[in-house]
Amino acid sequence: MDYAATGQEALSRIAEASDLETLEALRVEFLGKQGSISGLLKTLGKLDPEERKVEGPKIHALRESVSDALAARKDVLETAALNARLASETIDLSLPAPEAPRGTVHPISQVMDEIAEIFADLGFSVATGPEIEDDWHNFTALNMPESHPARAMHDTFYFPDRDAQNREMLLRTHTSPVQMRTMLKDGAPLRIIAPGRVYRSDSDATHTPMFHQVEGLVIDKDVHLGHLKWTLETFLKAFFEREDIVLRLRPSYFPFTEPSVEADIGFTLIDGKRVIGGDPSKGEGGWMEVLGSGMVNRRVIEFAGLDPNEWQGFAFGIGIDRLAMLKYGMDDLRAFFDGDVRWLSHYGFSALDVPTLSGGVGTPA
Ligand code: DAH
């Protein structure tokens, strides 16, 4: 049999195939399992040996020429397809970056960075501790034994299971346990702040179950209340970027400090709005409570394995959310945690707006 006509027809149809799908259809038609040339190959088995010797090479040659033609055509079509894609997908790298989407730094993150920057300048480093705490670090070691009434005021979220040392586990109710962790780890002297999330089972317009605090701790020799007052005043002046910050210290009680002090910051009324700064005792305005502090209780120093006759110190705890609201004029705490893109793009900060003391710690984006 002469396969020249079959071959001619196959080759010319392959040469005319204008895209890869058509070419693939031809491959199946000729060489697929049910293909015409595959069919010819199958007939070989039924031929007697002499005929097979004659027909075999012809059919194989046909198969080979068709398969070569398919491969060659495939190459041509693929190159053409690639060139077309390259031509249509050019990128102009000199175009400006798109306006949207544009993320912002959350005011809480920004304020935490501002606080870290200010305290770094005063020689404080940043310490951290776990949000899932044990009862010993969160309460007992801070001079709040199991029966202590102050525990009840913390509205603690407890976990159902205890840890390996049979300690009750909880979400830390304040950043104060970082005091203990840092003293146990690094000993004394010490100068740290510890910003982070804290949790209490409490929720209304001015309380959210998760909020933010920054803890401060200084342990050294001959530390006294005057150092505490100077540090707080210096911090608040730098944070609010004004010199006329007036601080009022009130006696208070915290189990982990003795004596304990709560600090209020003076505000004045300008067009009915509260503005931080000025002395309320000399005009309109008032006091706003911003932090708790005091001299570290001797018992706490003992719990940390230090000798309270050798080491003293002061500590403070500041509510970050409140501070951010006062500085940047936000009046609803809950908006902090809504994740509303419009709110974030209004109150958020540019990622490039890194707070520095020289450049101003808080210039809105
Ligand atoms: N831990 C206290 C709270 O969450 C705040 C506090 C008060 C922290 C006095 C201190 C401190 O370090 O000395 O209410």
pTM of the model: 0.72
Q: Which residues line ligand 1 (CB under 6 A)?
A: 174, 176, 215, 254, 257, 292-294, 315-317
Ligand 1 centroid–CA 187 distance in Å is: 20
How many angstroms separate the Cα of 50 from the Cα of each of 45, 59, 92, 105, 332? 12, 15, 68, 85, 97
Return the ligand 1 atom nearest residue 257 CA.
13
Q: Provide the pLDDT for residue 261.
A: 98
- DSSP letter at 297 equals P
Ligand 1 centroid–CA 345 distance in Å is: 32
Q: Provide the pLDDT for residue 100.
A: 66
Protein residue closest via CA to atom 8 of ligand 1: 317
Query: How far apart (Å, rounded) are the C-alpha atoms in residues 361 and 365?
Result: 12
Return the ligand 1 atom nearest residue 174 CA.
4
Q: Provide the pLDDT for residue 331.
A: 85
Protein residue closest via CA to atom 2 of ligand 1: 317
Q: Provide the pLDDT for residue 187.
A: 96
Asked if 231 and 261 count as a contact pair (C-beta separation under 8 A), the reply is no
Mean pLDDT by 10 residues, the chain (365 residues): 84 93 94 90 87 89 93 94 90 81 88 96 97 97 90 90 93 98 97 98 88 98 95 96 94 97 93 86 88 98 97 97 91 91 91 76 52
> Which of 144, 148, 174 for mutating ligand 1's site (highest number of atoms within 8 Å of CB)?
174
Asked if 231 and 191 count as a contact pair (C-beta separation under 8 A), the reply is no
Q: Provide the pLDDT for residue 365.
A: 40
Rg (CA), the chain: 38
| DSSP secondary structure string for all residues of 62-101 | HHHHHHHHHHHHHHHHHHHHHHHHHHHT---TTSPPPS-S
